[in-house]
Chains A and B, each alone.
Chain A
Amino acid sequence: MTVEITNALPDIPRIYTAISEWLACMVYVAVVPRTVSLRRTLCMGALGLAVLIGLQYFAGTLPITFWILGMCLAFAAMWAIVRLASGIGKRTALFLTARAFVLAEMVASLHWQIDSFIRPSSAPLWRLQPVLALIGIYGICFAGAWLAERHSFRGDETITPTMRDAVTTSIITIITFAMSNLSFVSTNTPFSGTVGQEVFYIRTLVDLCGFLILYAQQEQIRQTRATLELASINASLQSQHAEYLQSKENIEAMGRLAHDLKHQIVALRAELDPQQASAQFERLEASVNEYSAQQHSGNPVLDVILTTKTRTCADRGITFTAVADGKLLAGMDSMDIATLFGNALDNAIEAASRVADLERRIIKLALFQQGQFVVVRVENYFEAPLKHDAIGNLTTTKRDKTAHGFGVKSIRHIARSYGGELTITPQNHWFELHVLIPLPLARIS
């Protein structure tokens, strides 16, 4: 592939390319959360290095017309390494490999450019100085890339990129690669360099631009996602609060109604023959009592939510039992209480409603103190299979993925804003949601 270059500088040795490709893969394996054991990552990493070196030498034996094929093979191998060593999904792996590929090209090119500048072309490759230069330049570049990308990919979960993001990434990568290597294919284009050093410089620069564009793209994806998520969490906060206000009004109205009814009964009873009507009226009174029966947990906001959800559950044939020390929530914002319990119970009700056997539609709620912690536990029996994403996180089983699945997120958001945490354990058909918040309850962020 160096045929067209005027002063025919030798191009990057195959082994360097392989090392660079491998290191780039490892950078991305290191920045995404692993879902496979460390041992597997290490084994796959070691195996990957051997495969990449092997492939590079194999590609070296192919005629120059198969050069593109060689690059495609290397890319495929990198994709397999990233995927197998980290356990992420296919599309995410493609997304990362594209970045790794451009990064590898850039670092290898930069190093070779510097190397061919400081080392006389006749000097051997494997002396102390050039090897030190290799280690130094690769080390600094990949460490830098790791630091930069760690920031972009950090978080508990790698979110699978959308098809559009994956396509954009692929296009950027292909263009970067094509433009950076144009001079090696033909010097006779408006975008080609003709002098060796110049050709190397063009390649490094184009690769750098490609890498920066990909970095900026990831940054933008992250921003968009965060904004969307926040908007959804806020919308869910608002809707739970609105529902709370509505319920509060309804319940108050119901209370007044019950109160009035009681007075009417008293009046009626005075008029009629007490002996005969007594039994009937008692029954009437009991039913009114039942209607006015409200949960008294010790927190007015929680009472409203429990009362509302108890009615919803009754309508859907769900047995809902709650043990709750509402006084524990004294330091919590009423909107947060409404959102936390509202969402947790809505999710449970949604899942329990799908259970066919009415006897098995069960939801249990517990709010209690343990040590210096407030503990919330909401459990429901379920039958529908849960869906997990590529790395084992629960995802919504509802159709509209963008609108749902934020219930749990907003609960976690609230728990964390009070310095607490949320966990979910589905086991033996019981879906358990736990929230733990350190006392005294106070917002920390």
Chain B
Amino acid sequence: MRAIRIGVVEDDPTHCQRLLDYLNRYQEESGERFTVSVFDDGAKIAENYVPMYDILLMDIQMKQMDGIDAAREIRKRDDSVVIVFITSAPQYAINGYEVGALSFLLKPVPWFGFQQEMARSIAQVRRNTDESMLVDTGTSSLRLVLADIVYFESIRHTIVIHTLSGKLSISSSLKKLEEQLEGRSFFRSNSCYLVNLDHVTGVQESDCVMSTGETLRISRPRKKEFLAALTNHVGTGR
């Protein structure tokens, strides 16, 4: 597995050194490999930011540009980097949701908390890396990125794959696909739909609203199970 690229943004050298020590210890204990870059102010990473990091460990209170502002700048260019705030004042981090940072670490950072947060962030990085599946269209085989698939629709004996970039027909069955995609984010919402929970943006009565704006019927007996699967998926997701 490739090394995980980590940016450490921290203006206090003592705290910074502690984080670097922890990162080394984590590498030794887990067998993960890290490539670490260090910045001593938010402005330094936000300026000319290149979306190349997997995880950013970011202090909040810094002199020139604070962590939240820096993260806001970074988010304009990078949706997927995992941001972990590190702060001594929890009231500053409560707004972390604005930049997709849903938990943070309190200074002085304890090893155990750090380790748990790293494990979670790494799992998220791994999830972000695009998984794909091979489909056989009859004339050729195609590789589809799972994240691009909005839902599968069964029409008689063909399966129509609705992706972000268009439709595609294959001969298969939802049952087979369901088995193939077991453990992924797909859920059978109806006898003719297998939807990607990542693309479900809303639920209106008995329909689910997809990111493409389409509404798909959820069958009545599956409604409860669907909501539970979605709750679990969205809750664990980030």
Question: Cβ of A323: which chain B residues have Cβ within 8 Å of it?
Answer: 93-97, 101-104
B181 at the interface (CB under 8 A from A): no
A425 at the interface (CB under 8 A from B): yes
B144 at the interface (CB under 8 A from A): no
CB-CB nearest in chain B for A430? B116
Question: Cβ of B228: which chain A residues have Cβ within 8 Å of it?
Answer: 421, 423
Q: Are the CB atoms of B113 and A438 closer together than 8 Å? A: no
CB-CB nearest in chain A for B229? A423
B9 at the interface (CB under 8 A from A): no
Question: Cβ of B200: which chain A residues have Cβ within 8 Å of it?
Answer: 371
CA distance A375 to B237 in the complex (A): 11
Q: Are the CB atoms of A421 and B102 closer together than 8 Å? A: no
Question: Cβ of B91: which chain A residues have Cβ within 8 Å of it?
Answer: 293-296
CB-CB nearest in chain B for A436? B231
A422 at the interface (CB under 8 A from B): yes
CB-CB nearest in chain B for A434? B235
Q: Are the CB atoms of B94 and A297 closer together than 8 Å? A: yes
Q: Are the CB atoms of A373 and B234 closer together than 8 Å? A: yes
Q: Are the CB atoms of B94 and A359 closer together than 8 Å? A: no
Q: Nearest Cβ distance between residue B199 and chain A, in whole angstroms?
A: 9
Q: Are the CB atoms of A435 and B231 closer together than 8 Å? A: yes
A80 at the interface (CB under 8 A from B): no
B111 at the interface (CB under 8 A from A): yes
Q: Are the CB atoms of B111 and A425 closer together than 8 Å? A: no
- Chain B proximity mask over A357-373: 1 for CB below 8 Å, otherwise 0: 10110101011111111
Q: Are the CB atoms of A321 and B104 closer together than 8 Å? A: yes
B230 at the interface (CB under 8 A from A): yes
B201 at the interface (CB under 8 A from A): yes
A322 at the interface (CB under 8 A from B): yes
Number of A residues, CB within 8 Å of B: 41
Question: Cβ of B201: which chain A residues have Cβ within 8 Å of it?
Answer: 371-373
A439 at the interface (CB under 8 A from B): yes
Q: Are the CB atoms of A324 and B202 closer together than 8 Å? A: no
CA distance A183 to B119 in the complex (A): 73
A406 at the interface (CB under 8 A from B): no
Q: Are the CB atoms of A425 and B202 closer together than 8 Å? A: no
Given A321-B104, A436-B234, does the pair A367, B227 have CB atoms closer than 8 Å?
A: no
B110 at the interface (CB under 8 A from A): yes
Given A296-B91, A322-B94, A364-B103, does the pair A373, B202 have CB atoms closer than 8 Å?
A: yes
Question: Cβ of A364: which chain B residues have Cβ within 8 Å of it?
Answer: 103
With a 10 A CB-CB cut-off, give which of A296, A321, A419 has the most chain B CB atoms: A321
- Chain B proximity mask over A296-308: 1 for CB below 8 Å, otherwise 0: 1100000000000
CA distance A372 to B61 in the complex (A): 32
A319 at the interface (CB under 8 A from B): yes
CA distance A257 to B137 in the complex (A): 73
A420 at the interface (CB under 8 A from B): yes
A325 at the interface (CB under 8 A from B): yes
B135 at the interface (CB under 8 A from A): no
CA distance A158 to B112 in the complex (A): 40
**Which of B93, B209, B211, B235 has a CB less than 8 Å from the CB of A375?**
B235
Question: Cβ of A319: which chain B residues have Cβ within 8 Å of it?
Answer: 106, 110, 113
The B63-122 residues at the A interface (CB cut-off 8 A) are: 89-91, 93-98, 101-106, 110-113, 116
Given A319-B106, A371-B200, A438-B202, does the pair A423, B94 have CB atoms closer than 8 Å?
A: no
B224 at the interface (CB under 8 A from A): yes
A377 at the interface (CB under 8 A from B): yes
CA distance A368 to B99 in the complex (A): 11
With a 10 A CB-CB cut-off, give which of B202, B224, B230, B237 has the most chain A CB atoms: B230
CA distance A297 to B92 in the complex (A): 10
CA distance A438 to B231 in the complex (A): 10
Q: Nearest Cβ distance between residue B89 and chain A, in whole angstroms?
A: 8
CA distance A434 to B233 in the complex (A): 9
Q: Are the CB atoms of B90 and A357 closer together than 8 Å? A: no
A243 at the interface (CB under 8 A from B): no
Q: Are the CB atoms of B231 and A425 closer together than 8 Å? A: no
B180 at the interface (CB under 8 A from A): no
Q: Are the CB atoms of B203 and A366 closer together than 8 Å? A: no
Q: Are the CB atoms of A420 and B231 closer together than 8 Å? A: yes
Q: Nearest Cβ distance between residue A151 and chain B, in whole angstroms?
A: 16
Question: Cβ of A296: which chain B residues have Cβ within 8 Å of it?
Answer: 91, 94
Question: Cβ of A371: which chain B residues have Cβ within 8 Å of it?
Answer: 200-202, 209, 211, 234
Q: Are the CB atoms of B112 and A359 closer together than 8 Å? A: yes
A341 at the interface (CB under 8 A from B): no
- Chain A proximity mask over B160-204: 1 for CB below 8 Å, otherwise 0: 000000000000000000000000000000000000000011111
CA distance A373 to B104 in the complex (A): 22
CA distance A5 to B94 in the complex (A): 83
B139 at the interface (CB under 8 A from A): no
Question: Cβ of A375: which chain B residues have Cβ within 8 Å of it?
Answer: 234-235
- Chain B proximity mask over A401-445: 1 for CB below 8 Å, otherwise 0: 000000000000000000111110100001010111011000000
CA distance A422 to B204 in the complex (A): 18
CA distance A371 to B46 in the complex (A): 27
B232 at the interface (CB under 8 A from A): yes
Question: Cβ of B89: which chain A residues have Cβ within 8 Å of it?
Answer: 293
Q: Are the CB atoms of B97 and A422 closer together than 8 Å? A: no
Q: Are the CB atoms of A425 and B104 closer together than 8 Å? A: no
**Which of A293, A297, A421 has a CB less than 8 Å from the CB of B231?**
A421
Q: Nearest Cβ distance between residue A375 and chain B, in whole angstroms?
A: 5
CA distance A364 to B116 in the complex (A): 12
B236 at the interface (CB under 8 A from A): yes
Given A295-B94, A324-B97, does the pair A423, B231 have CB atoms closer than 8 Å?
A: yes
**Can you name 15 A-B residue pairings with CB atoms under 8 Å?**
A295-B94, A321-B90, A321-B103, A323-B97, A323-B101, A362-B112, A367-B97, A368-B97, A369-B97, A371-B200, A373-B203, A373-B230, A423-B232, A434-B232, A435-B231
Name A residues whose Cβ lies closer than 8 Å to a Cβ of B. 293-297, 310, 319, 321-325, 357, 359-360, 362, 364, 366-373, 375, 377, 381, 419-423, 425, 430, 432, 434-436, 438-439
